[in-house]
Amino acid sequence: MRSRLLRSPHPALHRLPLALTLAAALCSCETESPTGNPTRETLPNGAVLVRYPALPAIDSVGPLVTEAHVDLWIGTFDGDDPNYIFGGIRGVQAASDGTIYVLDFQAAEVRVFSPDGEYLRTIVRYGEGPGEILEADGILLSGDTLIWINDRSQMAIIGVDPGGEELRRFDKPVRSYIGIWDGTFDNRGRYWREILHMDDGDEYRPPSGLETFEFRHYYKSYDLSNGMLDSVYTGDVTTRRYIFETEGGGGSQGIPFTPSNLTVVHPSGGFWQANTASYRLTRADESLDTLLVVEAAVRHYPVTTDDRAAYVEDLVERRPDLRRVAEAVETLIPDHKPLLGTVFVDDKGRLWVERTTPGDTPPFYDLFTEDGEYQGSVRLAFMPVPDGRIWVQHGNIYTWVVDEFDVQYVVRASVS
């Protein structure tokens, strides 16, 4: 086995064995928490409300909780083959036969690896010609025959086949920058991307202190079959930030642990929506008529003194001149953490609901069908990238991890 193909934790990855140790410690704490019998009732508008009196605790073990362990690593911290060195991963996708596609933002390449992690070829490279990219920040695999790549520099979404030949291209209906592309395609061949709009605009220099403001949240769609654009208003988004002034001008800081609204497109149509402050998930159609509500009782975690101190220390370490700002923001932090993290829909149409976990505990997800039936939970036995982005395809989780030397590794973990 070549050293660059790491199928077990490399000695340099000190953070990852720590995550495995944490997971093992958690598993030894409790037996399975019963979910109880969910109740179903029909609401006056015809929607179905499903209530779960309990879901497994994040530190529980048993048949309802699957622990996802890494079974494949791709990457190296040294070596003479640059194809195993990643400078800025922005997406990992997998075909039904296990072939893995990795987008590297820094190299402006899409590399292909076998199910065993062997480098096969590079199908997309830097450039402005057909099938070439400049600044791509995300990929999505449609079936096994079309790979969509979001190139923010060319303001285009480019579709290539597994050999890298460009088959399709369209201008982005929403032109915005984000760390990792979060656009999606539904089963009708429509591309969806969210957009926020503020009616009154943003003051150039708002007064110092806490500011609360609202955006209108939309999802804009582009129909690949006829080029039609449409948009759906999905509600208002309220957020808070702390405005400050400095000798150099000023800026703003978000308030940690503030709840937020979540909306994701369901591939078969409509949306899943939630507010992270409560375990309440709503599935609605494209007219925003509620079809299903899922509620569950789970543990609420307090914001600890250590959490508050860590926020202040982190900001001051990066900006020593903002100590007073950090201390002011600390007083605005809520007493409890949000119940939910991210939500997304996998390739089987199941909704993955991430629960907030304390400290450096690995992520924990609950799975539901589109009818609100609980399918079990998944605990990661490793710590993914800082923003928690994972993709679930063909019974596996794909993402990447970073070691203490900022070396990036693509990883795969089975959940089947």
pLDDT in tens, 303-345: 999 999 999 999 999 999 999 999 999 999 999 999 999 999 9
Is 138 within 8 Å of 154 (Cβ atoms)? no
Predicted local distance difference test score (pLDDT) of residue 205: 58
CA–CA distance, 78 with 73 (Å, rounded to integer): 15
Distance of CA 105 to the CA centre of its chain: 17
Output the six-digit token pair for 309. 């101190």
Quote the percentage of the chain above a pLDDT of 90. 74
Q: What are the tens digits of pLDDT across the range 114-149? A: 999 999 999 999 999 999 999 999 999 998 999 999
Of 307, 302, 309, nearest in space to 326 by CA: 309
Predicted local distance difference test score (pLDDT) of residue 104: 97
Taking CA atoms, 394 is separated from 9, 10, 94, in Å, by: 23, 26, 8
Residue 395 has pLDDT above 90, yes or no: yes
CA–CA distance, 358 with 92 (Å, rounded to integer): 27
Is residue 225 helix, strand or coil?
coil
Place of tokens 């979404």: 157
pTM: 0.88
Residue 299 has pLDDT above 60, yes or no: yes
